[in-house]
Amino acid sequence: MSAPPAIALERVRKEFVKGERRVLAVEDVDLAVAQREFTAVLGPSGCGKSTLLNLVAGFDRPTSGRVLAGGEVVGEPSPARGVVFQEPALFPWLSVFDNVVFGPKTQGQPAAEYRQRAAQIIEQVGLRGFESHYPAELSGGMRQRVGIARVLILQPQIMLMDEPFGSLDAQTRTLMQELLLGVWERHQQTVLFITHDIEEALLLADRVCVMTARPGRIKKTIQVGIPRPRSIEVTTSPQFNRLRAEVFALIREESRRAATESARAASAG
Amino acid sequence: MLRAPWFLLLPLAFLALWHFAVAERWVVEGIIPAPAQVIDSWYTWIFGSAQASLSPYSGTWLANVTYSTRRVLQGFGLAAVVAIPLGLMIGWNRLVARVVDPSIQLFRPVPITAWLPFAIAVFGIYDASALFLIGLGAFYPVVVNTTHGVRDTNLLLLRAARMMGARPATVLGKVVFPSALPSIFTGLRLGIGVAWTAVIVAEMIAVKSGLGYVLWDAYYVGRMDICVATMFSVGLLGYLSDRVIVAASTFVLRWRALEAHE
């Protein structure tokens, strides 16, 4: 018998109720992510991508269906499922070092052990020399490095990343994507990566799940198949261009559908 | 030009107006003392004087300042020790909020002066009356601002902490509390202001020492110069205590100063 998938979503549906209004965020989502697989979820804005991630993280419960991690139903958030948020969400009153060691420290791990690990990880994400800086003193890219470092130190089986580079400028984003490729090739966790950036998804992931407009469903899953180790150069290869054209057509269809539907809703309302 | 001590302009103008109003008899004689007389009486009140040894106010300033300051610190300290944990619990736990918050909102509009007869009836003409009034007055702003600070905590920080394995108690202590600190300090600043108001009211009626007692007593014996000197003394002490809290807050919230430069 084979090992259970690292992440499994089974007929997941999530509806938010705000007063009188009900919003169906995702519906009928089936998704299995294998151990050590890097899966990107790609979709137009407002399609419920982040909802999926919050369900896997344990921040939210599905309205119906099941969310499993390592074969067990997801309950509370856990260090086994590390999350990198879109805003870095660092503790502004803690230094870079204290932000990075927050997890192991709060779990009561021995300081001698996690301090050494922290030094290594800080080195890997390129933050050496900034240990005693506060988040407010860092650039957006450096803050996100801290956001990644504090998850790596948890040694999670699963890393959940919610548009982590979405708010960075183009150059910094490329640098961070390369950094993530390097870090992932070293640590090899299962990654669920949420993004609306086609190139980012194709550059990083083994597999890209394209979502429909709301209510979000998985429209199509595409195997990327570009050999690793990858670098930013692969984005100019013919294979990459073919994949990009394919995904672009899928996304465009969904964005159009979303636009006409919201226009129809506006004229009806 | 901007570096000139502009803040002195209005006080000096006020002082001049005051001086001439008395000297030129624009005001009824004997009711408002001249600035020079106030300074003279204040000096004697502080340092005493050989000639004025018969005056009950000679050299008693420090003793009365000490009485009032001690009451303020005790009442305010008591309020902070109760209000900060309570505010944390109200902001953190819905059940606590439902049970406690409505009562606080119900009692809060009762002015601290309206509690005076009650305090004297229950605690008598003793320190306990004053401490009750000061503590109650300072309690409300601290508890309300602490609660507000807790509820204002960024949801992502709470999620991040839980994701990193923090238990609820740790989240409260290591995330919610530091995140609420700026609000808590705002509450403390408002609270110390109310505490000085309350101590004067309490000492006027409920005890027989301190600056509030001197103020009312001096009024009764027609010593307006001492009344005015007392007003300035209270103002000065209130200002100093506020500066102390601001300095503590600037030190504790060093990380916020960095954010302001963004």
User: CA nearest A109 in B: which residue?
Assistant: B165
Write the CB contacts of A250 (distance below 8 Å, at least 6 apart in sequence).
A210, A219, A220
**For A24-73, what is each residue's pLDDT tens digit?**
999 999 999 999 999 999 988 777 889 999 999 999 999 999 999 999 99
Cβ atoms of A128 and A122 within 8 Å: the answer is yes
In a domain, A54, yes or no: yes
With respect to residue A174, please indicate whether it lies within any of the assigned structural domains.
Answer: yes
Cβ atoms of A67 and A73 closer than 8 Å: yes
Residue A195 sits in which domain range? 7-80+156-268
| B169 interface with A at CB cutoff 8 Å | no
> Using the beta-carbon criterion (under 8 Å), do B261 and A136 form an inter-chain contact?
yes
In a domain, A98, yes or no: no
Per-residue pLDDT tens, chain B, 262 aa: give them: 778 889 899 999 999 999 999 988 888 777 889 999 999 999 989 988 766 555 778 889 999 999 999 999 999 999 999 999 999 999 999 999 999 999 999 999 999 999 999 999 999 888 899 999 999 999 999 999 999 999 999 999 999 999 999 999 999 999 999 999 999 999 999 999 999 999 999 999 888 899 999 999 999 998 999 999 999 999 999 999 999 999 999 999 988 887 765 4
Q: How far apart are CA A204 and CA A240, in angstroms?
A: 12
How do residues B19-66 score in pLDDT, each as one tens digit?
Answer: 999 988 888 777 889 999 999 999 989 988 766 555 778 889 999 999
Q: Is the Cβ of B164 closer than 8 Å to some Cβ of chain A?
A: yes
Q: What is the pLDDT of residue B261?
A: 52
Q: Is B252 part of the contact surface with chain A (CB cutoff 8 Å)?
A: no
How far is the C-alpha of B5 from the C-alpha of B52, rounded, in Å?
A: 37
Percentage of chain B surpassing pLDDT 70? 97
> Which of A78, A83, A93 is nearest residue B178 as measured by Cβ atoms?
A93
What secondary structure, in 3-state letters, does chain B show? CCCCCHHHHHHHHHHHHHHHHHHCCCCCCCCCCCHHHHHHHHHHHHHCCCHHHHCCCCCCHHHHHHHHHHHHHHHHHHHHHHHHHHHHHHHHCHHHHHHHHHHHHHHCCCCHHHHHHHHHHHHCCCHHHHHHHHHHHHHHHHHHHHHHHHHCCCHHHHHHHHHCCCCHHHHHHHHHHHHHHHHHHHHHHHHHHHHHHHHHHHHHHCCCCCHHHHHHHHHHCCCHHHHHHHHHHHHHHHHHHHHHHHHHHHHHCHHHHHHHCC
Q: How far apart are CA B188 and CA B143, in angstroms?
A: 9
ipTM for the predicted complex comes to: 0.92
- Beta strands across the sheet bearing A21-33: A21-33, A7-18, A64-69, A72-73
Coil, helix or strand for A92?
coil
CATH number at residue A259: 3.40.50.300
Are A110 and A101 in contact, with CB atoms under 8 Å apart? no
Domain contains A147: no
Whether A223 maps to a domain, the answer reads: yes
CA distance B170 to chain A (A): 7
- For residue A150, being part of any structural domain is answered with no
Q: 3-state SS of A25-44?
A: EEEEEEEEECCCCEEEEECC
The number of CA neighbours under 13 Å toward the Cβ of B204 is: 17
Q: Given this model, what pLDDT does residue A115 score?
A: 95
Nearest to B71 by CA among B206, B190, B170, B179: B206
Q: Are the C-beta atoms of A112 and A148 separated by less than 8 Å?
A: no
Q: What 3-state class would DSSP assign to A138?
A: coil
Domains of chain B by residue range: 61-257
pLDDT, one tens digit per residue, over A69-117 is 999 999 999 999 999 999 999 999 999 999 999 999 999 999 999 999 9
Here the tokens at position A64 are 């119906």
Tell me if B162 and A76 make a contact (CB, 8 A cut-off).
yes
Model confidence over A122-167: pLDDT tens digits?
998 999 999 999 999 999 999 999 999 999 999 999 999 999 998 8
Indicate the residue type of B257: A
User: d(Cα B94, Cα B99) in Å, to the nearest integer?
Assistant: 9
At residue B262, the pLDDT reads: 46
pLDDT band at residue A259 using 50, 70 and 90 as cut-offs = confident
pLDDT (0 to 100) of residue A260: 82
Residues of A in Cβ contact (< 8 Å) with B181? 93
Pair A151, A89: CB distance under 8 Å: no
Mutant choice from B155, B158, B164 vs A, greatest count of A C-beta within 10 A: B164
A98 contact B CB<8A: no
Q: Do A106 and B161 touch (CB under 8 A)?
A: yes
The answer to whether residue A2 sits within a structural domain is no
Would the CB atoms of B165 and A59 count as touching at under 8 Å?
Answer: no
Distance in angstroms between the alpha carbons of the first and the last residue of chain B: 28
**Nearest by Cα to B214 from B35, B68, B44:** B68
- Residue of B153, B156, B157, B163 to mutate, testing the A interface (most A Cβ within 10 Å of its Cβ): B163
Q: What is the tens place of the pLDDT at every residue in A196-252?
A: 999 999 999 999 999 988 788 899 999 999 998 898 889 999 999 999 999 999 988
Q: What is the DSSP letter of A71?
A: T
Q: Any idea which architecture B61-257 has in CATH?
A: Orthogonal Bundle (1.10)
Residues of chain B contacting residue A57, judged by C-beta atoms under 8 Å apart: 159, 163
What's the structural domain count of chain A? 1
Q: Does residue A167 lie within any of the structural domains?
A: yes
- Identify the residue among A83, A87, A160 best suited for mutation to test binding to B, counting B beta carbons within 10 A and taking the highest: A83
- Say if residue A264's pLDDT is above 90: no
Partner B contacted by A89 (CB < 8 A): yes
B180 to chain A: which residues are within 8 Å by CB? none
